[in-house]
Amino acid sequence: MKYGIAIFPPKKIQDVANSYRKRYDPHYALIPPHITLKEPFEAEDNKIKEMVPHLKEIAKETNPFDIEINKVSSFAPVTNAIYLKVEPAEVIMTINEKLEAKLPGKSEHSYVPHITIAQKLSDDEFSDVYGSLRMGGFELKETVDRFQLLYQLENGSWTVYETFVLGEG
Amino acid sequence: MKYGIAIFPPKKIQDVANSYRKRYDPHYALIPPHITLKEPFEAEDNKIKEMVPHLKEIAKETNPFDIEINKVSSFAPVTNAIYLKVEPAEVIMTINEKLEAKLPGKSEHSYVPHITIAQKLSDDEFSDVYGSLRMGGFELKETVDRFQLLYQLENGSWTVYETFVLGEG
């Protein structure tokens, strides 16, 4: 099975992200708006129970933290993806490092905390959308207090297996 | 916010359900295949933290249990919905009763454990699809060991807030 680990940010941020994802992200219907904590990875079905204690430990070591979203950024020219930049990055990057150390699958990309709101755009569409989104600003500040272990169904959509509450595990 | 409580059955059952939902259920993209444990209900945003201890207690009191799916059934003539019948019903009905007693919102319908695979069909489409699904059989048997508390986003889709593991809480 393919697994993923992600934060679903509080509802207000998800609703803002969805207002763009609906038009610009073909993954809109596959998963709610999220901050990927570790790139999706393959592991056998029975390995999921072995992952849970590691995830509980990492959650327990991490206190709830505030995130701010003030602007968009982009992964161009690597891909035409546009994302909400999540700041500060430190706590999230620390969780990512711990997950990379404890779980299967190594990411090929350097890790940037982000919420994708547009992807797989044509070059022209990308220029238009990115140009207009950079003109506007965002003022979102919310507390993150949990993350999720998910698995992917055959249709490409994601189901939550378990929630890990920060400070509790 | 609108809240819901549901079981996401193991992946095999979800994949079978999605093969029908994709064609026959307009809610296909809003939530993974699920057994509703309590009808969606409204409650204030800050009430969610008060629900969690009740849900933990109910999860702790319930042991993991096996479910079987052998056939489809329907809510017609009330609505043109078709569902996978989940048996045995007893454990799930007990969870439903406890949820109704502890949480806001009372259901107007009598409770039947089910996984919806088709809804909002025209009368003709309903007759065709239901007729053909009743001819075939299902042979699914899996273990359920957790349920989820979800909230609804502005676009109608559902995000998991927290998972409750049976026997643990």
Q: Are B15 and A153 in contact (CB < 8 Å)?
A: yes
Contact of B168 with A166, CB cutoff 8 Å: no
Domain carrying residue A144: 2-165
From A14's Cα to the closest Cα of chain B, the distance in A is 7
Side-by-side strand order, sheet with B35-42: B35-42, B2-7, B146-152, B158-165
Q: Which residue of A has its CA nearest to B157?
A: A32
Helices B48-61 & B90-102, crossing angle to 10 degrees?
150
Distance CA B151, CA B3 (A): 4
A124 pLDDT exceeds 80?
A: yes
Q: Is the pLDDT of residue A169 over 80?
A: no
Asked if B153's CB is within 8 angstroms of A32's CB, the reply is yes
At A61 the pLDDT is 97
Kindly state whether B27 is in contact with chain A, defined as any CB-CB distance less than 8 angstroms. no
> Does A163 contact B161 at a Cβ distance shorter than 8 Å?
yes
Contacts of A158 in chain B (CB under 8 A): 32
pLDDT digits (tens, 9 = 90+) for B34-78: 999 999 999 998 889 899 999 999 999 999 999 999 999 999 999
Chain B residues near residue A163 by CB distance under 8 angstroms: 160-163
Above 80 in pLDDT, residue B169? no
- Our count of domains for chain A comes to 1
Q: Could you list the beta-strand ranges (E) of chain B.
A: 2-7, 35-42, 65-69, 72-74, 82-85, 114-118, 140-144, 146-152, 158-165
- Which carries the bigger pLDDT value, residue A82 or residue A110? A82
Q: Which residue has the higher pLDDT, A28 or B46?
A: A28
Q: Average of pLDDT values for B107-131?
A: 94
Q: Name every chain B residue with its beta carbon within 8 A of the beta carbon of A117.
A: none
pLDDT top residue among A45 and B3:
B3
Q: How far apart are the two ends of chain A, measured CA to CA in Å?
A: 24
**Average pLDDT of the segment spanning A89-100:** 96
β-strands A2-7, A146-152 pairing: antiparallel
Q: Is the dihedral of CA B45, A16, A14, B32 positive or negative?
A: positive
Q: At A13, is the pLDDT very low, low, confident or very high (cuts 50, 70, 90)? A: very high
Residue A101, domain CATH: 3.90.1140.10
For chains A and B, what is the number of CB pairs under 8 angstroms? 64
Catalytic residues of A: 34, 114
- pLDDT band per the 50, 70, 90 thresholds, residue B107: confident
User: Please, is A123 exposed, middle or buried when counting C-beta atoms within 10 Å of its C-beta (0-12, 13-18, 19+)?
Assistant: exposed
